[in-house]
Amino acid sequence: MNYTKADALKSLDTTAKWNWIGEDYSGITWDASNSKTKPTEAEIDAELTRLQNQYTANEYQRKRAAEYPSVVDQLDDIYHNGIDAWKATIKVTKVKYPKPYWH
């Protein structure tokens, strides 16, 4: 996913009202009624980097979700084969897409 600086600004303050014309920081018009002050360009850039890093770090979750059986199929597996068999089925995907060590 390619986050934008506008995404970063929204992430920094979900309730703020602002308008952004163009791509330069100078194009941000910050509504004076906001409870917080306008973030600096460095703060927006740092948040953009954080969002992109978080998305990259969570790639294993997206890959796992695409390969796990549906919830209905998982429940059926538990009912017919028991929890241990279900865990073995799920473990195949978890091993294929391991959680990074920093999580």
Q: 33 pLDDT exceeds 90?
A: no
Q: Global pTM?
A: 0.74
Could you count the other beta carbons within 10 Å of the beta carbon of residue 86? 19
Q: What is the structure's pLDDT at 80? A: 98
Residue 30, CB half-sphere, CA atoms under 13 Å: how many? 15
Q: Tell me the pLDDT band of 100, cut-offs 50, 70 and 90.
A: confident
* Residue 103 clears pLDDT 70, i.e. is over it: no
Q: Where are the domains of the chain?
A: 5-57, 61-96
Helix (H, G, I), strand (E, B) or coil at 19: strand
Mean pLDDT of 64-90: 97
**CA 64/CA 92 separation, integer angstroms:** 10
Whole-number Å distance between alpha carbons of 3 and 52: 7
Mean pLDDT along residues 67-71: 96
